[in-house]
Amino acid sequence: MDASQEEIGRFYKTPTGLLYPSVTTITGQLGKEGILQWRKRVGEKEADRISSRAADRGTKLHTLCEDYINNKPIEAKDFVSYDMFASIKSTLDENLDNVHMQEVPLYSDYLQTAGRVDCVAEWEGKLSIIDFKSSSKPKYREWIQNYFMQAAAYAVMYEELTGKPISKLVIVVAVENDSPQVFIEKRDDHINGFIRLREKYRETYGR
């Protein structure tokens, strides 16, 4: 699916020609005010520097995870991203198996949204949506409701497109200079929250 960036978010064109907002565009509505306050507090220049570094770190971590799961040679792009990948490698070895797809675009006509899922595989023997995140410090569960809603939306997309239900959501967080975190949730505990955010986005932007 082709993707495009608009002022109101990122959009994907489905095979039938429909334009749906991305999952992260929808979940990005959470905490938006807090982010604006943070940018004001630290200054635009510093906020841009921190955001750019975090985005670059996350992209490199995703590439390392994808290559490793695909049995490709691992090339360290920088010490930070490689060390973060190394911190979660044993967790992946112990829990992840039978990969169904990686970095594949999905969409849902029911949710009217789309996105690119990190990984669909078995985690501890059960088919799961698996998302890889990076962070400069450990996360509290209540801070990352957007992660759970994002994964829940992917679970609905996957079932809609394949007929295979997924109830287990796994968020693997590589923490800079700290131990990794693994959060396991249920799709049905978070999909209604995503649906409410989707409706809020539609009411705000008419899309």
The confidence score (pLDDT) of residue 43 equals 83
- Supply angle C-alpha 35, 145, 8, rounded to 5: 50
CA distance 44 to 32: 15
Residue 32: band (very low, low, confident or very high) from pLDDT cuts 50, 70, 90? low
Q: What is the dihedral of CA 24, 105, 67, 187, to 10 degrees?
A: 60
**Whole-number average pLDDT of the chain:** 91
Length of the chain: 207
133-181 confidence digits (pLDDT tens): 999 999 999 999 999 999 999 999 999 999 999 999 999 999 999 999 9
Question: How many CA atoms does the CB half-sphere of 6 hold within 13 Å?
Answer: 14
Residue with tokens 């792009």: 77
Name the pTM for this structure: 0.92
Q: How many helices (H) and strands (E) does the chain have?
A: 6, 8
Check pLDDT > 80 for residue 38.
Answer: no
Determine the average pLDDT of the residues in 2-24.
Answer: 93
Helix (H) / strand (E) containing 184? strand 181-186
CATH domain 3-205 topology: Lambda Exonuclease; Chain A (3.90.320)
* Residue that is written with structure tokens 């010490």 in the block: 79
